[in-house]
A and B are shown apart, each in its own frame.
Chain A
Amino acid sequence: MLSVLDERITLKYGAGGRAMRALIQEVFLDGMTAVCADDEIGPAHMDDGAALRVGDRWLVVTTDSHVIHPVFFPGGDIGRLAVSGTVNDLAVMGATDPLALTCAVIIEEGFARTDLVRIQRSIREACQEAGVAVVTGDTKVMGKGELDGIVLNTTGVAMTGRVVPDSGLRVGDVLIVTGTLGDHGMAIMARRHDLTLDERLQSDVAPLNGLIRAALGAAPDAIVAMKDPTRGGLASALHEMAEKSRVGIIVDETALPVTAPVRAASELLGIDPLHVANEGKAVLGVRPDAAPSVLRALRAHALGREAAIIGQCTDQRIGSVILDTGFGRRLVTEPEGELLPRIC
């Protein structure tokens, strides 16, 4: 396991990849004895949330802080992101009927009230789409310069009869993504680096609980693993699933759904769409015979029209993700730290 060598925390520790996992393992989990029973999911699992037994059902809890900048981006804003992120973390654990959300905000002095109102409207809209409400929160204001604009934290809770972990894959299982990859991250990257790329680059940020409910309905026991590929992209999500499930994964690059603007931006910036964050997509591990019906259920839903089978689990190279490029094969790497445009 990696050792956190740095004395000071740098940006890579928040980027969702190996450095972050190492930080969690070595600092946050250190000395924390098992808080959960054997069949529960707790912090050591580093899954999308925690799952605690309540009677014969499970209480699923998840929390996220949102620090995205710019706060308003093509296709969404920090409010929509906060609600969707939390609802989706619950959904990919199998909890598609969220009970309630909390929302705490920390606001920098000088932040415009009209912007705050706009964010609150987005939160409301996203909640309506997901069928959930914010039931409690907290408000703090910090001095100018002590914080960058605004930070949101959301916690979500839900009950479910069955928890779907990251680790349920078996050799032969098929991997399905619910739609096009890289939309959110590329839209943000274009804004952040002041690259006037394409107006068609829009974040995909959306709550997915309805979509996943439809998929689970079509094949309740055949969906054995789920994740939402946010920071670190599909590459990180698949690596985690492969490591936790103890399988290898082969991905067919030609089957990956990627829109033309994202493909163009990735060529121009030298960034792999597999490394780029998604905020309105999920990856599902499915028993092979159920794959066609899950795919059908996804495509029947507005948010799943571009769903596609993109890979399969193998017993080779356990814990690795291999990409078949159509010309050859290579290992899929995880991004190290922040993504930066390349010129070479």
Chain B
Amino acid sequence: MISNPAAVARDPGVSELKFRDPGRARALSIALGGVVGEIGREPVSVMHVCGSHEQAIARFGLRATLPRALNVIMGPGCPVCITDVPEVDEGVALAGQGVRIATYGDMVKVPGTVMSLADVQAQGAKVDVVYSVTQAVELARRISEPLVFFATGFETTAVATAAAVLQDPPANFFVLSAHKYIPPVMEIVAEMPDTRVEGFLAAGHAATITGWGVFEPFVARHRLPVVVAGFEPLDILAGLVRLAELIRDRRAIVDNMFPRCVTTDGNLRAQEQLWKVFRPIGGRWRGIAHVPNGNLRLRDEWAHLDARRQFDIDLHRLWDHAPAALVQDCICGDIMAGIKSPTDCTLFGRECVPHSPVGACMVSSEGTCKIWHQYGGHPDLGGYGAVCAR
């Protein structure tokens, strides 16, 4: 630790910061090494399906401390990454047609077939970045023109959109839903013939809504353990320790390591609102072909604010300009399924780089390719000990 006399006071704030205690984190890292060692095989592969887990792992630099024998794969859990190209195109096309779009910051730079929302904005389209769907509704109230909320994110985020729809938004507010539902894609990954995944770390916040019980049929069917974990460093490390224990002991159960937010049944009130507004349909996830029940669309009762039904979205005009070749070579799907690594991709580091991405895995701060590119290959900073006087 660099010693600075009388540094800036940092208030401890919320008790959640107990889950960032470095001492306990180090102890859990050591424990993880021990349990993985006991499994006696290498590598042991586990998968998480949450962009925020990857974000937390990357942000706190946890990969540098994970045991070498443990392979933590990022699965298809980044909602921006798996929003299919035609869906992005719908948003881009609408914006290009002069319709005002509001969306979360995460989605603005994701490339569609031809361009991203940022690109069409540079050409004069109106694209507003919002931090909450409520902000989009408030914006709609203030303007007279139509406002289409390009709704992305998994079920946790879809709940907010549902709540906004149920709160009687103004007549000029529309929703273009690209929301996704996670449980079905875990099935697909588990069923992939090449899959080497031995256990799953499930997203704590999604489970806050759905409950952990939703994973029991999955575990029974595939005989793979699932541990529900939160997002602080201690949560992730403890979740991995527990998962490693279950793999070592060959126990296929669901274990809830995020009890402060997750219960068996979840938040029934939120679920009720979610399914009142949305219905699940099958659809393509970027690079992962068809996911049954993986997409959320507005039910018929809400047709009046469904952008797909109220606007004539002209995709063909957009596709006339499409340089489709690069997108065809993109293997984001295999990477997200944990079957291939970024270095297996012919575009990685060449045509596809963070400042000029082809696939969404390179766009999102959570995408596997983005993180590999930042680390210059497989993340390995384990050699850096304390350089500063501690």
- On A, residues with C-beta under 8 Å from B are 2, 5, 8, 10-12, 18-19, 180, 193-195, 250, 252, 254-255, 257-260, 263-264, 269-270, 272, 295, 299, 306, 308-312, 314, 316, 320, 322-331, 333, 336-337, 340-344
- Establish whether residues A325 and B60, one from each chain, have CB atoms under 8 Å apart when the complex forms: yes
- Establish whether residues B153 and A343, one from each chain, have CB atoms under 8 Å apart when the complex forms: yes
Q: Which residue of chain B lies nearest to A314 when distances are taken between CB atoms in the complex?
A: B387
Cα distance A270–B123 in the bound complex, in angstroms: 27
29 A–B contacts, CB within 8 A, in A order: A8-B123, A11-B122, A18-B355, A250-B388, A255-B4, A260-B11, A295-B4, A308-B4, A308-B8, A310-B2, A314-B387, A323-B61, A324-B61, A324-B386, A324-B387, A327-B22, A327-B25, A327-B65, A328-B61, A328-B64, A330-B60, A330-B379, A340-B109, A340-B129, A341-B104, A342-B365, A343-B106, A343-B131, A344-B153
Cα distance A257–B388 in the bound complex, in angstroms: 16
Cα distance A309–B4 in the bound complex, in angstroms: 7
Residues of B within 8 Å of A272, CB to CB, are 59
Does chain A have a CB within 8 A of B381? yes
- Establish whether residues B388 and A193, one from each chain, have CB atoms under 8 Å apart when the complex forms: no
- Establish whether residues A254 and B384, one from each chain, have CB atoms under 8 Å apart when the complex forms: no
Q: Which residue of chain A lies nearest to B8 when distances are taken between CB atoms in the complex?
A: A257
Interface size of B as a range: 35 or more
- Establish whether residues B7 and A257, one from each chain, have CB atoms under 8 Å apart when the complex forms: yes
- Establish whether residues B381 and A259, one from each chain, have CB atoms under 8 Å apart when the complex forms: no
Best-buried of A254, A263, A326 by chain B (most CB within 10 Å): A326
A interface footprint on B21-57 (CB within 8 Å = 1, 0 otherwise): 0100110000000000000000000000001100100
- On B, residues with C-beta under 8 Å from A are 1-2, 4-5, 7-11, 13, 20, 22, 25-26, 51-52, 55, 58-65, 78-80, 104-106, 108-109, 118-119, 122-123, 129-132, 135, 153, 157, 233, 354-356, 364-366, 374-376, 379, 381-384, 386-388
Contact among B4, B5, B355 with A336 in the assembled complex (CB-CB below 8 Å):
B355
Tell me whether A312 and B388 are in contact in the complex, defined as CB-CB below 8 angstroms, given that A259-B8, A328-B63 are known contacts: yes
Chain B nearest CB: distance from A334 CB in Å? 9
Q: Which residue of chain A lies nearest to B123 when distances are taken between CB atoms in the complex?
A: A8
Tell me whether A255 and B2 are in contact in the complex, defined as CB-CB below 8 angstroms, given that A18-B355, A331-B374 are known contacts: yes
- Establish whether residues A309 and B129, one from each chain, have CB atoms under 8 Å apart when the complex forms: no
Residues of B within 8 Å of A19, CB to CB, are 355
- Establish whether residues A329 and B131, one from each chain, have CB atoms under 8 Å apart when the complex forms: no
- Establish whether residues B135 and A194, one from each chain, have CB atoms under 8 Å apart when the complex forms: yes
Q: Which residue of chain A lies nearest to B383 when distances are taken between CB atoms in the complex?
A: A316
- Establish whether residues A250 and B233, one from each chain, have CB atoms under 8 Å apart when the complex forms: no
Tell me whether A343 and B22 are in contact in the complex, defined as CB-CB below 8 angstroms, given that A308-B7, A327-B61 are known contacts: no
Best-buried of A12, A295, A343 by chain B (most CB within 10 Å): A343
- Establish whether residues B381 and A333, one from each chain, have CB atoms under 8 Å apart when the complex forms: no
Contact among A252, A263, A269, A306 with B2 in the assembled complex (CB-CB below 8 Å):
A252
Cα distance A222–B366 in the bound complex, in angstroms: 40
Residues of A within 8 Å of B157, CB to CB, are 343-344
- Establish whether residues A250 and B387, one from each chain, have CB atoms under 8 Å apart when the complex forms: yes
Cα distance A260–B11 in the bound complex, in angstroms: 7
Residues of B within 8 Å of A263, CB to CB, are 10
- Establish whether residues A333 and B106, one from each chain, have CB atoms under 8 Å apart when the complex forms: no
- Establish whether residues B1 and A254, one from each chain, have CB atoms under 8 Å apart when the complex forms: yes
Q: Which residue of chain A lies nearest to B384 when distances are taken between CB atoms in the complex?
A: A329
Residues of A within 8 Å of B365, CB to CB, are 342
Cα distance A322–B344 in the bound complex, in angstroms: 26
- Establish whether residues B355 and A2, one from each chain, have CB atoms under 8 Å apart when the complex forms: yes
Contact among B1, B63, B118, B375 with A252 in the assembled complex (CB-CB below 8 Å):
B1
Cα distance A45–B366 in the bound complex, in angstroms: 34
- Establish whether residues B78 and A344, one from each chain, have CB atoms under 8 Å apart when the complex forms: yes
Tell me whether A337 and B64 are in contact in the complex, defined as CB-CB below 8 angstroms, given that A254-B1, A344-B52 are known contacts: no
Tell me whether A330 and B59 are in contact in the complex, defined as CB-CB below 8 angstroms, given that A2-B355, A259-B8, A322-B381 are known contacts: yes
Residues of B within 8 Å of A326, CB to CB, are 22, 60
Residues of B within 8 Å of A320, CB to CB, are 376
Cα distance A336–B108 in the bound complex, in angstroms: 12
Cα distance A250–B64 in the bound complex, in angstroms: 14
- Establish whether residues A343 and B105, one from each chain, have CB atoms under 8 Å apart when the complex forms: yes
- Establish whether residues B384 and A250, one from each chain, have CB atoms under 8 Å apart when the complex forms: yes
Cα distance A263–B386 in the bound complex, in angstroms: 24
Tell me whether A193 and B131 are in contact in the complex, defined as CB-CB below 8 angstroms, given that A250-B384, A260-B10, A343-B157 are known contacts: yes
Cα distance A270–B364 in the bound complex, in angstroms: 13
- Establish whether residues A344 and B79, one from each chain, have CB atoms under 8 Å apart when the complex forms: yes
- Establish whether residues A325 and B61, one from each chain, have CB atoms under 8 Å apart when the complex forms: yes
Chain A nearest CB: distance from B315 CB in Å? 22
Cα distance A264–B354 in the bound complex, in angstroms: 27
Residues of B within 8 Å of A269, CB to CB, are 131
Using A299-B5, A330-B59 as known contacts, list a sample of 16 further A-B pairs with CB atoms less than 8 Å apart, ordered by residue number in A.
Answer: A10-B119, A257-B8, A260-B9, A260-B11, A260-B13, A306-B8, A308-B2, A308-B7, A309-B2, A309-B4, A322-B381, A325-B59, A329-B382, A342-B365, A343-B104, A344-B104
